[in-house]
Structure 1
């Protein structure tokens, strides 16, 4: 089981009582922060608030025990809202639970087959595009509760959502709007000035606004929708696990949404882990992290919870509060459990308008809007990729957006690498005996990569073949793929039909390996391979230029 080693097993070397105290305090802090966020994320996803709370408690505990990061806090995340809401709207809650189970399987397999490092290769333009797109969709999804609009079910598709919001705009509630705006202003001011008010500033603004909004709603009996009026409150404990029946037909139905959940969960958790590494100066294990996340998402549907992943805001808060081991994440889950056991009856008076304001505030801070402000400083391909992913995320679907973004990034990468690959004629000044012999012998230095995007390099040589010999120097070629080697073999065949001898020089480790595996050495005599350009040209001189 060497491939499966949770970070918690390596977290207690030199562990002290002081560090334990710091972990416990950090866990309590982040547990209190997680409560309103867990409920808000669940409600925004079209689920009951307890689905988010159970996910934070159970999912956070499993990732703490089995994950590859020492300080990461897992739970429901804002990035999942749009995807989960769309799955619930299209397939229903039962199929969301199935999709979550399958996403857990996919995540575990990604970690098992060591694909964690590949997720890091997703370009920043794609990440910024879909992150900002999700932020916009979260804000749009909260307009209903922010304004108190009378909409029984808000569509998940962008254009239908906008049309519904526009059609029902006249049904807004003055009391709801005042409470929402007041909550949002409070959060903004708290972020700006909380460090100036001493110990009170240590309590998160989301907790203050939740408590104040709930008190105002209860004392003045405001005509606003609450958790109690919509959901009847939250349970005062964890549910018993229940296995959801799986059929082949239902699995086929949700396989695409499950893959989307897995991909998004992998990106979010590993991005969070990298941020944690930068703050703690340690290194996480990406594949172990994916396996831990996979187990958590496989288990969550047994308790009716929503998908979980690493959460950046709570993880950063955890680290800044002094956490250094998974003990803090375990305490975070215990804190949440104690809160719902003790204070579940009070949750029924929490106004949805306040939760909507919290989510809008989080979504705005979640987006990397500076990238749009500094748009002109980026190259055109970067801008096209980022805008395409952003617009497709908002108007179509996250899966399509990421697919298109990766294709655009791939095309851009191929173009850039191929533009860096070039071929140059060896200067006559370096080899004086070539002077006046250009019609008989040609020598070329190849630079960069000879791959499927740069095979035209050899085609250019074919257009001006000399009479006797061509010498190709591969010393500065960093990579050849199968297509590039196939093009080289085709080039040699073309030269052979024209009566031109080809000499290959300077094959390094990678190029030599691909030449060996492709059978190039079987097609050419050893005398036509040289260790550098000078040696190759000397052979050409002896074979073709001596009489002249």
Structure 2
């Protein structure tokens, strides 16, 4: 039976497609410069993430080189940058603590196979159904866990081992507070302040790399007693990543399976979220299942080279886009530049103070926490707030796997409860006479539209499973309209994810100079929109009682 060409097209790497369409010297110049820029960001970050995960710093560099190269070569996104990310830190730390580094290798291998299977089975399209409160909850929880893991190096505490459990960790910190090193604490505070100020006044400069350089100078000239990479781990090997597998506890596969699933889940979700954001920045469209297969291959290869789990890195991908990347060649160059830096600068890296790397991770954790998104979701419906807070607390206090499972299950039950309420309400409400003129069957909608006005009607609940479809609404029109009417009389319910997607669409319209008119809002959507701060401003966003009212507003 011949394979459908449309199916094959789903797995063709973007690199192949773009190179086939033509690639010149100017394109390579832009990609090479973008790759160099991203590698400068990734160099200190990869080492810091490895150390925070309980591994040696070269493991982070090997991951960024091997996995980053394969993700760009095989992936379904034009500008995705892959490597170790902060999302993996808590789960990797716990796996290494319980099962050793061999256990992590097995976990990463299993996660790679899971990702490949998910891509082949086309599960990439299903990951968008994860509710926003669950994603924000575990992301914020991971940020707190990362900060918690860095207190030892931030303050220069003299500890032999930091416990993996949250409360035990802070109890240990409390009892060891008297052992702090003032110079290390001062360097940490100065590093955070420097990065924040540099981002405000000179955002184009590589703040992470500059802060590492200043930290090296401080240790070498002012305070050589501060703990460094060299004093804890020895010198970083200045050699190519070697194919070497440590002893793997295959007999503990069943015990490691939940952690493997968590790694695969995080890699899949974070890579596809990063790809979606990149699409919005460049106006492209990624191949989700191709991206999952690439992530799987990259994680399996990273494990075979002794590396860490990897996924698409949102901050590095955004840096890549802003630096002018055109194709996945930029990601390939990023990996090659990292390899050159590791080979050339390995002796110097031994002088990098751990306090500086800990400070960098504090900044990463703060950015990852999504404080504004968390606060915005806390203004949503009670059920969404419960899912958000519970996922956050479980991530911090217990385990990321438990948090994700409970969050998704609770969100599913909440959705079913809401749908049952909507069905009951609909069965007792007759069609209001004034709304009959707004019925799509009454006449041809498009015939009534003035020049420069477009309309779109949503039918059914606007919740987390369908919210992402709003991203494609504006793409259906050949040219951006002057006014856009979104007909919502047939939307009985909206949740926090729907409000977030609607807000993003309104913001996109605002940037393009398109006025948005929401027509026929019903009681529940109107109340939730008002509750979450989506209100009329008279220009970008206006409300209409029905479609005829919306047409009159669009004509003014």
The TM-score bracket by the shorter chain reads 0.7 to 0.9
- How do 1:324-339 and structure 2 match up within 5 A? 324-339=326-341
Residue 9 of structure 1 pairs with residue 16 of structure 2: yes
- How do 1:136-535 and structure 2 match up within 5 A? 136-195=144-203, 202-244=204-246, 248-374=250-376, 376-422=378-424, 424=427
Taking the aligned partners of 2:239 and 2:231, their CA distance within structure 1 comes to: 20
Displacement, 1:83? 0.8
Pairs aligned (count): 427
Residue 99 of structure 1 pairs with residue 101 of structure 2: no
Q: Deviations over 1:452-479 (max 9, x none)?
A: xxxxxxxxxxxxxxxxxxxxxxxx9x9x
Taking the aligned partners of 2:199 and 2:291, their CA distance within structure 1 comes to: 31
Taking the aligned partners of 1:111 and 1:72, their CA distance within structure 2 comes to: 17
Displacement, 1:243? 4.0
Displacement, 1:425? 7.6
Displacement, 1:246? 5.2
Displacement, 1:51? 0.4
Alpha-carbon RMSD across the aligned residues, in angstroms, is 2.0
Maintained 8 Å contact 2:80/2:312: yes
Taking the aligned partners of 1:276 and 1:62, their CA distance within structure 2 comes to: 18
Q: Deviations over 1:172-207 (max 9, x none)?
A: 001111111111110111111115xxxxxx430111
Displacement, 1:15? 2.6
Displacement, 1:113? 0.4
Residue 81 of structure 1 pairs with residue 65 of structure 2: no
Q: Secondary structure at the match of 1:238?
A: coil
Taking the aligned partners of 1:403 and 1:128, their CA distance within structure 2 comes to: 14
Residue 113 of structure 1 pairs with residue 121 of structure 2: yes
Distance 1:247 1:158, change over 3 A: closer
Q: Deviations over 1:247-290 (max 9, x none)?
A: 64132221111111000111111111110010011110111101
Give the match for residue 461 of structure 1: none
Displacement, 1:4? 3.1
Taking the aligned partners of 2:267 and 2:427, their CA distance within structure 1 comes to: 47
Give the match for residue 63 of structure 2: 55
Larger Rg: 1
Q: Secondary structure at the match of 2:419?
A: helix
Distance 1:375 1:118, change over 3 A: closer
Give the match for residue 439 of structure 2: none
Distance 1:243 1:175, change over 3 A: closer
Q: Secondary structure at the match of 2:126?
A: helix
Taking the aligned partners of 2:249 and 2:374, their CA distance within structure 1 comes to: 45
Taking the aligned partners of 1:382 and 1:75, their CA distance within structure 2 comes to: 32
Give the structure-1-normalised TM-score: 0.75
Give the structure-2-normalised TM-score: 0.74
Maintained 8 Å contact 1:58/1:333: yes
Taking the aligned partners of 1:448 and 1:339, their CA distance within structure 2 comes to: 54
Displacement, 1:426? 11
Structure 2 unmatched ranges of 5 or more: 434-458, 462-489, 493-556
